[in-house]
Homo-oligomer: A and B are copies of this chain.
Amino acid sequence: MTAPIGAKRFQDDSGLEVEFGGRLPQLEIAYETWGQLSRQKDNAILLCPAFSGHSHANSHEGDPSPGWWEGMVGSGLAFDTEDYFVVCASLLGGSYGTTGPWSVNPETGEAWRGRFPVVGVRDLVDAHIRLLDHLGIERLFCVAGGSLGAMQALELGVRYPQRVRKVFTASGTDRTRPHTAAIRHVGRQAILLDPKYCGGDYEGNGPTDGLALAREIGTVFYRSREELNQRFRWQPIAEPSRGGTVFDVQSYLRHQGQKILGDFDANSYLTLSLAMDLFDVWRGFPSRESALEPVEAEFMIVGVDEDRLIPIDEQEWLHHALVTAGKRSHWRPIENHIGHDWFLVEIDQITELVRELLK
């Protein structure tokens, strides 16, 4: 529940009214930067973290540990620090240094915990905008992200049309469908089922068993059937028992569940999971046409054929909505057995796509 060690901090005391009601009196934002902002301040790229991401997108001098998009940011890389000033901020509602359920509510002097307001992707983007204002960046050269990061990138491109020139989204959507909400629902239920959840007002790490199971459930959808079937043995690896590990895919899932603990807070999990379910980039606009009318950015929409969480037809649909509205959009369907999380894994492929959009 701490910011990455290389993170800078920005505090905004003007408060934020959040989309579904409630107000955060103060925003603290943890962020990292790579490269130099040009004199014209026209070379900034904002990277938007996915669900379990944070400001540490890539290693740098201040923090040599690998980032969540390691190999994407640096001299000669996709987001080339010879040319661009790259910014990445931890998410509002998350556990990595930006205001979230673990932060102290200055009005009560206590951590928010279960009383942290429900936030939407719109609020996550509003926090990014506050940071951009602070850094003096009026217009981004590009905003980029995958999954929840793609939702932020799209939201920024649509709701702040004058503030970005290029939008890169992978494994995203324009609005969450009921089936995806059903998947996230069962993950959240695992946390709520843990007796240590206590309505969100737990001390310490709280419902770690539920959080681990939520992550295990998510993992089943983040990776494709093909990948799991190729990677793991089809035969039992141990004497079968109802409570034990019988197949090595179970060990893998348990490992994924355990990895999240101590780092990612259960209230943050619930908060960001619900933010994704509530995502609808068209909400509040009279029509899609009016939402897109002022949009100026050039888009690249990437989808993966084996995505089981947000299937590729949703990305293709978004591309067509943009083109129908007369916007510039490049549709890049990818064949890859990894599935939804592809953009975190296949760095060479995604580098090529990013370069194509940035050039």
Contact = CB atoms under 8 A, between A and B. Distances in A.
A204 interface: no
Contact of A220 (B182, B195, B311): B182
Interface in A188-221: 188-190, 192-195, 199-200, 209-210, 213, 216-217, 219-220
Interface stretch (A140-148, A270-278, A285-293): A270-278
Contact of A178 (B177, B182, B200, B232): B232
A225 B209 CA distance: 28
A277 B246 contact: yes
A291 to B, nearest CB: 16
A231 B216 CA distance: 27
A330 interface: no
A236 interface: yes
Count of chain copies: 2
B193 A239 contact: no
Contacts of A308: 308
Given A200-B242, A236-B278, 15 more contacts: A20-B239, A21-B239, A176-B234, A177-B228, A177-B234, A178-B248, A179-B225, A179-B228, A181-B249, A185-B253, A186-B213, A186-B217, A189-B213, A190-B190, A190-B213
Interface of A: 20-21, 114, 118, 175-179, 181-183, 185-186, 188-190, 192-195, 199-200, 209-210, 213, 216-217, 219-220, 225, 228-229, 231-236, 239-243, 246-250, 253, 267, 270-271, 274, 277-278, 280, 308, 311
